[in-house]
Amino acid sequence: MKGLKVVLATVLVLMPGCLENLKEEIISCENVTGECRYEILRSTDYSRLHIEINYVTEYAPDSEAVDLLKQRIQETTDKTSVSVSQNGFGSTDSSYSLEEILAIEKEQRERYKSGNTFIIHILYLNGEYEDNDQTLGLAYTGSSFVLFKEQIEDAAFFLISAEDIEKSVIVHEYGHLVALVNNGYESPHDHEDPDHPNHSNNEDSVMYWAIESQDIANQIDGEPPNNFDSNDLDDLKLMKEGKL
């Protein structure tokens, strides 16, 4: 043990920069979904927000869904501007594990938060999520989420279009990035579904659990919601004010 202490002391002397980078990586909010909520909602550290989208060719995001996401971000944060960039890439996979999703992000993602700009990264994939083939979307880090475009298209019903579902799912996953519902905080409102943690019990909220499931057509009557309800919005307001 004594020899180990000497080695560690030497490393501390010789590699302070590397250790500082490692420390920042370990404590980064981006390691856990919902942990970046303050950086996203407030303008204190990052006054601007950029959305980087990488999509499998032929499964590009719907432009109206992206515009709606920008609108919801502008409505719920203090950011002075919200911008978007998009790039396509090829994939022959039809099923993706979380490890594969992380690897694709690492390969395709170009930007990370820096200066005065926070980056949200979105993947649009074909196929399905390996761990749950009913999944339409999944937030998996503090700044990243994935939408399974092909699954969204398959979930469409004659009363519910794929475009309307995509709008709901993209806003829903953004909601998870900002910690809705009760992810790392305790809401003053009783609006969490006990059977579906971190989701709303209100089917008129975009945070309703069925939004990100292929069972959406059987759980929601009519067009799915694509906006936060009053309880969601109050939670976000209190978070911005530092009260949650």
pLDDT at 19: 44
Q: How many residues does the chain have?
A: 244
Nearest to 135 by CA among 216, 199, 19: 216
Task: Pick 143 or 222 by higher pLDDT.
Answer: 143
Tell the residue number behind the tokens 């993706």, with chain if given: 96
In the chain, how many H helices and how many E strands? 9, 7
91's tokens: 């994939």
Contact 62/167 with Cβ under 8 angstroms?
A: yes
pLDDT at 218: 83
pTM above 0.85, yes or no: yes
- Categorize the per-residue pLDDT at 222 as very low, low, confident or very high, splitting at 50, 70 and 90: confident
- Helices of type H across 31-96: 37-41, 63-76
In the chain, the percentage of residues whose pLDDT exceeds 90 is 82
pLDDT at 221: 81
Does the pLDDT of residue 4 top 50, yes or no?
A: no
Does the pLDDT of residue 14 top 90, yes or no?
A: no
Query: What CATH number has the domain spanning 30-240?
Result: 3.40.390.10
